[in-house]
Amino acid sequence: MQKQFDVAVIGAGAAGMMCAAVAGQRGKKVVLIDHATKLAEKIRISGGGRCNFTNINAGPQNFLSQNPHFCKSALSRYTPQDFLSLMKRYRIGYHEKHKGQLFCDDSSEQVIAMLKAECDLGNVSWRMPCSVANVGKDGDLFRIDSSAGEILASNVVIATGGLSIPKIGATDFAYRIARQFDLDVIEPQPGLVPLTFDAAAWQPFLPLAGIALPVEVETGDKKNRGEFKEDLLFTHRGLSGPAILQISSFWKAGAPLSLNLLPEIDVVSTLIEGKTSVKKNLGNVFAQWLPTRLAHGIIEANKLDPAARLADMPDRQLRNLGDAINRWTILPNGSEGYRKAEVTLGGIDTRELSQQSMMSKQVNGLYFIGESVDVTGWLGGYNFQWAWASGTAAGLAI
């Protein structure tokens, strides 16, 4: 078995396969190493099995990082249109679902097969399943101690992703290698994750589990503010749905969330105007706007009677009720953690890497790509776009 390569890519997920294919097709001798038994499990389960593989509107504004400018170079050199051209070459059908999010018509397995075929075109060698015990550097050569024996390479690309979903093989390998070579790591945190609440405080909301509705949600201060208009889902442990997954990446422990449960209606003024009609009561007005269980939950939480007539209620009471709907402020006590998080915030500090090549500024030949780096996309295909773009940037630079 061949032992020495131009490039060893560790992690055969989205970014690793892209990088290996690009480097291989440029004539580099590439080996792709992964400890999993099943290839690219995260791509397979993504987008409910249909892989939201990019977002046509993807740009630097859709990413979180300590350095928001870092991602610009790679994203501008490998765009969503570039990935679409690849999909078209492989005749993989896709459709837009919502806000520029592109999904496969059939299955995410098609994306995996396409990337595998691209690696084959680049004559990429595979070591899988194969675990890596150590990566050392001897002069210009990296020595990788692996379960498939020693592998020597002039360049090593770390593409082992973040900590999300340990059950399917996520590890802290990238952070360990970074620290071993004295590179800074921004503390990782779960992102795109459901938020939880104190069990006793959440008790009154338990009957609402399963209810979904479009909301506006915001958190943060002027410097780091998140604002999204998406669907909210009540769960048994707290809140989820796209609105909460998006805002979770901006949420800081101890900070409240502000939710507008009826973004299209100014509830205070509509309730006060409604006082002119003798027939209108809280129950029937709210039932027009909100799912019945939620409408009753809010009325009861405010210790009011659904049969109460608007005309008989003081403005102060209606104002409180309106605020509870248009400006509901809640304090999460945590998140569901890496078990449920779609991504990992933080990672290899971008100040350590070249934005053109993704190579370490300190360690010649050592690259980090994909989710291992402190660049995290919003929900909606952005994280794969970063994997394709950063993988291509490294693949072209090696």
Ligand X SMILES: Cc1cc2nc3c(=O)[nH]c(=O)nc-3n(C[C@H](O)[C@H](O)[C@H](O)COP(=O)(O)OP(=O)(O)OC[C@H]3O[C@@H](n4cnc5c(N)ncnc54)[C@H](O)[C@@H]3O)c2cc1C
Under the rule (CB under 6 A), what is the footprint of ligand X? 10-16, 34-36, 40, 42, 45-47, 51-52, 131-132, 159-161, 164-165, 169, 171, 173, 342-343, 370-372, 381-384, 387
CB of 132 to ligand X, least distance (A): 5
* Chain residue at closest Cβ approach to ligand X: 13
- DSSP label of 88: H
Q: 47 vs 322, which CB is nearer to ligand X?
A: 47
CB of 232 to ligand X, least distance (A): 19
Q: 238 vs 370, which CB is nearer to ligand X?
A: 370
Q: 156 vs 321, which CB is nearer to ligand X?
A: 156
Q: 54 vs 281, which CB is nearer to ligand X?
A: 54
Distances (CA, A) of 115 to 18, 19, 20, 90, 357: 7, 10, 9, 10, 21
**How many Cβ atoms from other residues are within 10 Å of residue 305's Cβ?**
11
CB of 90 to ligand X, least distance (A): 18
Q: Is the peptide bond before 332 cis (omega within 30 degrees of 0)?
A: no
Q: 153 vs 165, which CB is nearer to ligand X?
A: 165
CB of 124 to ligand X, least distance (A): 14
Burial track 30-56 (b if 16+ CB lie within 10 A, e otherwise): bbbbbbbeebbbbbbebbeebbbbbbe
Burial of 134 (0-12, 13-18, 19+ CB in 10 A): exposed
Alpha helices in the chain (DSSP H): 14-25, 41-45, 72-77, 80-89, 109-121, 173-180, 199-202, 242-248, 267-274, 282-289, 292-301, 315-326, 382-397
Q: 122 vs 297, which CB is nearer to ligand X?
A: 122
CB of 16 to ligand X, least distance (A): 5
What is the rounded CA–CA span in Å between residue 64 and residue 59?
A: 11
CB of 283 to ligand X, least distance (A): 39
